[in-house]
Amino acid sequence: MRAALESLLRARKLDVTLTPFGPSGEALGPVPDQARVAPTGVPALDAALGGGLRRGHLSDIAGAPSSGRTTIVVRALAAATARGEAVALVDARDAFDPASAAAQGVDLPHLLWVRLDGRDPAIAVKAYSLILQAGGFGLAVLDLADAAPAALRGLPATTWMRLARIVEGSDTVALLVGADRLARSAGGATIACESSAPGWQGTAPRARLFSGLAFTPRVVGFAHGRQPASHVL
Amino acid sequence: MKVPSYDDLTPGIPDVGPAPADQLALFLRSAPAAPVAPLAPFAPRAPLAPCAPLFACLRLHAGAVPHPGVLLPIATDFSPRVKRVSEGEVLLDVSGLGGLIGPPDEIARQLARALVDAAIAANVAIAPTTTVARLLATQASPDGPLDTDRFHELPVALLEPLETLPPAMPPRDRARPYETFQRWGIATLGELAELPAAELSSRLGRRGIALQRLAQGLDPAPFVPDGETPRFIDRLELEWPIDALEPLSFVLARLLEPLSAALERADRGAVALRLDLRLTDRSTHARVLQLPAPMRDPRVLRTLLLLDLESAPPPAAVDIVAIELDPAPSRITQFSLLQRALPSPETLSTLTARLSALVGELRVGSPALLDSHRPDAFAMEGYAPEQGARSARSAEVRSAEVRTEDTEGEGLATDARSADVGPVLRRQRRPQVIHVSIERGRPAHIASSRRGVPHGAIVQAAGPWRLSGGWWTDRDWNRSEWDVALKNGAVCRIYQDRVTDRWFLDGVYD
């Protein structure tokens, strides 16, 4: 029995179905292999994630508007394209700004961008499934940040489990973006973004410049997570 | 002023191989009365790529009387890809003969030996491009292999037979650039090759640049062998009309599988696929698929055809199905051990076709920024990460050029933030109308009737940033932008249309 379980674990048949936490929250699983993680490009977040988001797992980012969730996604896309990987973004509300992304370092020819009008998130999930099934992408993002909560509740309950099973064992980091937590696989991470004060340059009312957002991404429910310090982008 | 180069003017003409004179140039003279002269050890100046093209030129000696077809049998003994240039000159593609015969000098030696056995006095030249091979084969007094310096010392006049000029061109016009070169003191290929291309183009036009490319050893066009080009076409008349895609898929598979096998036998892949469906209403439903890379997997081709037919179904039942594949040399891919492999073109073709069928063709691809100050200026391009990786270096050069010519950009912008990296914006691609209260000339409150649109009191505001442009087109813009922070924590970009005075939400910083 034990030998059978160990062989299944070696074949990674069970590792994503087991919880990596002990009763007191300590990590049970091995430290993630650095070749199996994808750095997000946000150093504080990568340190909290033990190197980055784990490949072959479903992770998610949640936060309110101006909480920095899109910045983390774009940084992750930039880091992946800098490594020469192909990346994909299913944009449920057609909100992606190529100019901002290029300024953050995203190599746009490596980005497969699927633009939707946001009417039905099921179509976005279907497109995302096709991308995950095709394989070969280093990072695949499903952006449902502006989707209506009622529409998301209308998705079948097995949607996220099916996505996690598709990406399991592959080299792809599957990343969901939403206003609230959507789903993650056992080896994935949930990053909760909280907004804080925006940064401004200049004190005079007519000579002021918006310089960026200060936000605190919190890693929730990850085996090797530490809470990163506030990060200003 | 930037003078367009020949590359800019003729982007469709590909470079065939690298600059040959830096790699390899072999020349051998054979005569029936004399043994083949020994060759010096083969020592290319740069390592040849494993699959580098290699061409041989057989050219009868100047004094020899050309007999029709005397060189062709010898050439076809060595390669099936042969092109007869004239009665006394034949080109053949000897790429890939290395595994069968040996290194290029051995190929040249065996060609010369075959000529000697056939009692033919001819020159043999081997080079990575047909231009260099032909130029070397015109030499009258060779004594072993030529080196690159001697190639560059060849006279410019040798280029005249290599030019492709209109037959009706007067002799005076034909000789004009050569007279100009003579006046400039340009006598050799090396001197012509080193002239600045922009100045040469401004004085002699496209022909001058074409001559310079020949002097550099570049081919003006890909090598196309003689003979009937095989056509990969098949057709099937159905006993009963088909009015659904599922039964049609079996017909497509039956046609595509033998075509793919024929492509494999010819070591070719399909770069375009044409489907002609003859319908019961006597019309023809034609579809043409341009493939991103040569491919011949019948399952992939069938899937692509079916997905295309899903988006553009035939209006009536199908009587006759005909498929034609446009062949091209198959792909040779060398993956890196240090980088993750990108999705294959077959995978990407199928994926983008499925996504296009799901969300629309114009909504799938890669964004490309446009050289414009118009807000949210981008274009959707086909997704080809392999090409993107190859063109990354040239794109950096182009962007550097664009930065140096910023005065010629479209429109007028006063956006001081463009030089900064800045935060990431989530755009409202369909700008939402909002109601903005103004106090002391600055936005103070945002209201909106739509759910999900940020609203509330404004606690910080920066602006206005005035942007305008495109007034000479029907897509002009003229607006004042503000960055505002709301009391609820959201930071937005809003703008006022200066023509209509209406306020819109442009996006949310996130």
Q: What is the pLDDT of chain B when averaged over all its residues?
A: 79
Strand order in the sheet with B232-242: B232-242, B318-329, B268-279, B284-295
Q: Does the pLDDT value for residue B120 go beyond 80?
A: yes
Q: Does the pLDDT value for residue B405 go beyond 90?
A: no
Q: Is residue B71 within 8 Å of residue B38, measured between CB atoms?
A: no
Can you tell me the mean pLDDT for A205-228? Answer: 72
What residues of A are in contact with residue B462 (Cβ under 8 Å)? Answer: 200, 202, 208-210
* B163 contacts: CB under 8 Å, gap ≥ 6: B207, B210, B211, B214
Q: Which residue of B has its CA nearest to A205?
A: B462
Q: Distance (Å, rounded) from C-alpha A107 to C-alpha A84?
A: 9
Can you tell me the mean pLDDT for A22-37? Answer: 56
Q: According to the per-residue pLDDT averaged within each range, which of A74-78, B263-267, B457-461 is highest?
A: A74-78
Please check whether residue B339 lies inside any domain of the structure: no
pLDDT at A8: 62
- Smallest CA–CA distance, residue B456 to chain A, in Å, is 14
Please check whether residue B59 lies inside any domain of the structure: yes
Whether B359 and A114 lie within 8 Å, measured CB to CB: yes
**If residue A220 lies in a helix (H) or strand (E), which one and from where to where?**
strand A209-220
Q: Does the pLDDT value for residue B452 go beyond 50?
A: yes
Can you tell me the mean pLDDT for A193-208? Answer: 78
Percent of chain A predicted with pLDDT > 70? 79
Nearest to B354 among A107, A130, A211 (CB): A130
For B436, the token pair is: 């903005």
Q: Distance (Å, rounded) from C-alpha A81 to C-alpha A107?
A: 6
Q: Distance (Å, rounded) from C-alpha B328 to C-alpha B266?
A: 10
Interface of A with B in 4-63 (CB under 8 A): none
Give residue limits of the domains in chain A.
33-232
Same domain, B383 and B501: no
Please check whether residue B355 lies inside any domain of the structure: no
Q: Distance (Å, rounded) from C-alpha A62 to C-alpha A149?
A: 13
What residues of B are in contact with residue A179 (Cβ under 8 Å)? Answer: none
Same domain, B431 and B484: yes
Same domain, B45 and B192: yes
Q: Distance (Å, rounded) from C-alpha B19 to C-alpha A86?
A: 32
CATH number at residue B264: 3.30.1490.100
Please tell me the total count of domains within chain B: 4
Interface of A with B in 74-103 (CB under 8 A): 74, 83-86, 94-103
**pTM: predicted TM-score of the whole model, two decimal places:** 0.64
Q: Is residue B90 within 8 Å of residue B75, measured between CB atoms?
A: yes
Q: Which residue of B has its CA nearest to A120?
A: B359
Closest by CA position to B476, among listed B429, B423, B411:
B411
pLDDT at A197: 75
pLDDT at B28: 57
Whether B365 and A67 lie within 8 Å, measured CB to CB: no
Same domain, B254 and B400: no
Please check whether residue B193 lies inside any domain of the structure: yes
Confidence grade of residue A55 (pLDDT, cut at 50, 70, 90): very high
Q: Distance (Å, rounded) from C-alpha A86 to C-alpha A112?
A: 8
pLDDT at B146: 55
Confidence grade of residue B229 (pLDDT, cut at 50, 70, 90): low
What residues of B are in contact with residue A99 (Cβ under 8 Å)? Answer: 369, 376-378, 425
Q: What is the pLDDT of chain A when averaged over all its residues?
A: 82
Question: Of the candidates B199, B227, B255, which is a domain's last residue?
Answer: B227
- Smallest CA–CA distance, residue B177 to chain A, in Å, is 42
CATH number at residue B18: 3.30.70.270
Whether B460 and A138 lie within 8 Å, measured CB to CB: no
Q: Distance (Å, rounded) from C-alpha B180 to C-alpha B133?
A: 26
Q: Does the pLDDT value for residue A39 go beyond 70?
A: yes
Please check whether residue B223 lies inside any domain of the structure: yes
Structural domain including B445 reads 416-509
Mean pLDDT check: name the lowest of A127-141, B219-233, B354-368: B219-233
DSSP reduced 3-state for B451: coil
Can you tell me the mean pLDDT for B124-140? Answer: 84
DSSP reduced 3-state for A107: coil
Q: Does the pLDDT value for residue B18 go beyond 90?
A: no
* B21 contacts: CB under 8 Å, gap ≥ 6: B132, B148, B151, B152, B216, B217
Same domain, B280 and B395: no
DSSP alpha helix (H) spans, B154-286:
171-184, 189-193, 197-215, 245-265
Total beta-carbon pairs less than 8 A apart between chain A and chain B? 182
pLDDT at B508: 92
Q: Distance (Å, rounded) from C-alpha B93 to C-alpha B124?
A: 13
Closest by CA position to A173, among listed A89, A82, A67, A69:
A89
Whether A83 and B340 lie within 8 Å, measured CB to CB: yes
What residues of B are in contact with residue A68 (Cβ under 8 Å)? Answer: 510
Other beta carbons within 10 angstroms of residue B414's beta carbon come to 13
Mean pLDDT check: name the lowest of A45-59, A118-132, B413-427: B413-427
CA A126 from chain centre, in angstroms, equals: 18
Whether B509 and A213 lie within 8 Å, measured CB to CB: yes
Please check whether residue B361 lies inside any domain of the structure: no
Same domain, B248 and B213: no
Q: Does the pLDDT value for residue B145 go beyond 80?
A: no
Closest by CA position to B259, among listed B300, B224, B290:
B300
Please check whether residue B346 lies inside any domain of the structure: no
Same domain, B449 and B388: no
Other beta carbons within 10 angstroms of residue B471's beta carbon come to 11
Please report where in the chains the tokens 């949930």 appear, as a residue.
A190
Same domain, B137 and B266: no
Q: Is A78 left (phi over 0), alpha (psi -120 to 50) or beta?
A: alpha
What residues of B are in contact with residue A135 (Cβ under 8 Å)? Answer: 343, 347
- Smallest CA–CA distance, residue B266 to chain A, in Å, is 29
Whether B422 and A103 lie within 8 Å, measured CB to CB: yes
Position with higher pLDDT, B458 vs B391: B458
Mean pLDDT check: name the lowest of B118-122, B182-186, B297-301: B118-122
- Smallest CA–CA distance, residue A22 to chain B, in Å, is 34
Q: Is residue A205 within 8 Å of residue B463, measured between CB atoms?
A: no
Q: Is residue B388 within 8 Å of residue B366, measured between CB atoms?
A: yes
Same domain, B503 and B469: yes
Q: Which residue of A has its CA nearest to B483?
A: A210
Confidence grade of residue B412 (pLDDT, cut at 50, 70, 90): very low
Confidence grade of residue B143 (pLDDT, cut at 50, 70, 90): low
Same domain, B31 and B155: yes
Can you tell me the mean pLDDT for B472-500? Answer: 90
At B258, give phi and psi (nearest 5°).
Answer: -65, -35
Q: Distance (Å, rounded) from C-alpha A134 to C-alpha A213?
A: 36
Question: Of the candidates B227, B249, B273, which is a domain's last residue?
Answer: B227
Confidence grade of residue B50 (pLDDT, cut at 50, 70, 90): low
Confidence grade of residue A20 (pLDDT, cut at 50, 70, 90): very low
At B325, give phi and psi (nearest 5°).
Answer: -110, 135
Please check whether residue B478 lies inside any domain of the structure: yes
The CATH code for residues A33-232 is 3.40.50.300
Can you tell me the mean pLDDT for B120-128? Answer: 85
Same domain, B256 and B283: yes
Can you tell me the mean pLDDT for A145-158? Answer: 88
Same domain, B390 and B310: no
Q: Is residue A127 within 8 Å of residue B355, measured between CB atoms?
A: yes
Whether A134 and B347 lie within 8 Å, measured CB to CB: yes
